[in-house]
Structure 1
Amino acid sequence: MCRHLAYVGPEEPLGRLLVDPPHGLYRQSWAPRRQRYGTVNADGFGVGWYAPGDPVPARYRRAGPVWGDPSFADLARVVRAPALLAAVRDATLPGADAEAAAAPFAAGAWLFSHNGAVRGWPDALAPLVRTLPPEDVLSLEARSDSAFVWALVLARLRAGDEEGQALADTVLEVAAAAPASRLNLLLTQGDMITATAWGDTLWYLARPGGGTVVASEPYDDDPHWREVPDRTLLAASRTDVLLTPLKEPDDARTGAVPAPHTPAPPKESRT
């Protein structure tokens, strides 16, 4: 459920990445091409972006469908940013907390989104509540599986984990507690994009003009789009993409591999 997208690279109008492409996130709200679960993403939307020189992102979120907001396309046409994270939502439990449940979630410089669903929510993750500081539980922004998963990730980030480690450990923890969950997570702090492919589609585009897009599905038919294998951690900068296999919760080891490319270099790079 849901579709999301993150970008880091040269400064761009939001609309060039979200609205203008023929199959952009705006259109994916009612006509996704590769969504495996659900057909319409009308339970809210949001975009967070970084202004040059300001590490704390701005957010614009609404409870309804993006096509029903008369201001969004105009805002996206003129606001420019070197990094963003946006999502359109198909709620696991419809009606939960309205705008507060719409991604991206935010804390400090971080923006976060979850595409998927926790199987057996909320009962399946009740044992994990004790792993969080009480103040984190009491201050959850929404009563949704995505908000709780974000709290688990954020607790690790605040404890000093790197972004990739925080996402990977959270996915394995949640998958162990709630098998068959779909846990495509997306995180940025404005310079890097970190993501997981776990149960749903994930793609990336190394743009020839510079910058990297990571998205639930391609927003156009550019042949440079590459699909991320399931059970994979992705780390992307403006110039490089690195993929690391994620093991099932009962497996102990992971290993980094270069992003698929023909021929395969140590890392996918652009000059």
Structure 2
Amino acid sequence: MCRHLASLGPVRPLAELLADRPGSLYRQSWAPRRQTHGTVNADGFGIGWYPPGAEDAPARYRRAVPIWADTELPDLARTLHSAAVLAAVRDATAGTSQDAAACAPFRTGRWLFSHNGAIADWRRLPEEIDSGLSASALLGLEASCDSALLWALLHRRLDTGEPPGEALAAVTRQVAAVRPQARLNLLLTDGRTIGAIRWGDTLSWRAGTDRVLVASEPCDESDGWQDVPEHSLLLATRDQVRITPIPLPSPQSPGVEQEQSHDIRLHA
């Protein structure tokens, strides 16, 4: 299992999100409060952000060491600034690669992606679903891990123009139909919106006067944190959060059915 977060708001130092809060991602690497699988997230970390003036080209910093072991990170985090961030600390799934390439966020174009969870026997997954992935795409996965495969499945849909919410829900249901015990908490951002799935672990969100945060667990003790319901899709901008139930998959209903959404307007 892992811990991750995504944030949209005004330009701020990365340290405000990663380390300066009492329940920050930094602390969650060794003392998560709501993690239900695994106890320490020490198999690597990654940060993705959108540098001011270069928002179409998100930057990444990833390492296959515990986040607390990177002595250069505090200086980087206090001097780097962004309006949008996606970051994660990793507890590696057994049988996956251990290098930095397996650490979220995964990136293609404007998109950053993270997976908090695990898929059993994930290497056989493309044979059991209509993945649409070619042999070259599978051989070219960025890392040998379930998260990289999920990103390939998701990005294929995004690349055809499928809206991010529909793509997230469709991939989740597609995988869950053949791996009912899979844990599929997902985060996706293009620097303007956040898409998230809660499926098998905790996920919370909070909207303040200037920022929207979505995280595996609350990053501080402030009021306003709300749990995303299990089996739900969250779509957030700076002005609105929409939460939509995702119907459980079944052999009789492989598609994504429409369920009533719950819209929360953040500002008058």
Question: Which TM-score applies when normalising by structure 1?
Answer: 0.93
Q: Deviation string for 1:51-76 (max 9, x for gaps)?
A: 12321100000001000000111100
Q: Which residue of 2 aligns with 1:87?
A: 88
Partner of 1:50: 50
Partners in 1 of 2:131 and 2:188 — Cα distance?
A: 24
Counterpart CA distance in 2 for 1:111 and 1:36 is 25
Q: Does the 8 Å CA contact 1:43/1:64 hold for their aligned counterparts?
A: yes
1:257 aligns with: 261
Instruction: Give the Cα separation in 2 of the matches to 1:131 and 1:220.
Output: 41
* Secondary structure class of the residue paired with 2:38: coil
CA RMSD of aligned residues (A): 1.5
Count of residue pairs brought into register by the alignment: 263
Identity between Structure 1 and Structure 2 (%): 50
Matches within 5 A, 1:231-242: 231-242=231-242
Q: Distance in 2 between matches of 1:231 and 1:131?
A: 24
Q: Please, which runs of 5 or more residues in structure 1 have no aligned partner? A: 259-265
Deviates most, 45-54 or 181-190: 45-54
Q: Moved runs in structure 1, 4+ residues, more than 4 A?
A: none
What is residue 267 of structure 2 aligned with on the other side?
A: 270
Name the residue aligned to 2:159. 158
Residue 190 of structure 1 corresponds to 191
Q: Do 1:129 and 1:137's aligned partners in 2 also have CA atoms closer than 8 Å?
A: no
Partner residue of 2:146? 145
Aligned 8 A contact 1:23 1:220 in 2: yes
Is structure 2 residue 23 aligned with structure 1 residue 19? no
User: What amino acid sits opposite 1:185 in the alignment?
Assistant: L
Q: TM-score, normalised by structure 2?
A: 0.94
Secondary structure at 1:165's aligned position in 2? Answer: helix
Question: Is the Cα contact below 8 Å between 2:96 and 2:146 reproduced in 1?
Answer: no
The CA deviation at 1:128 is 3.7
Match of 2:72 in 1: 71
Q: Which runs of 5+ in 2 are unaligned?
A: none
Q: Which moved more, 1:126-135 or 1:77-86?
A: 126-135
Give how far 1:223 is off.
1.5
Tell me the SS of whatever aligns to 2:265.
coil
User: For 1:149 and 1:124, how far apart are their aligned partners in 2?
Assistant: 10
Q: Distance in 1 between matches of 2:260 and 2:57?
A: 30
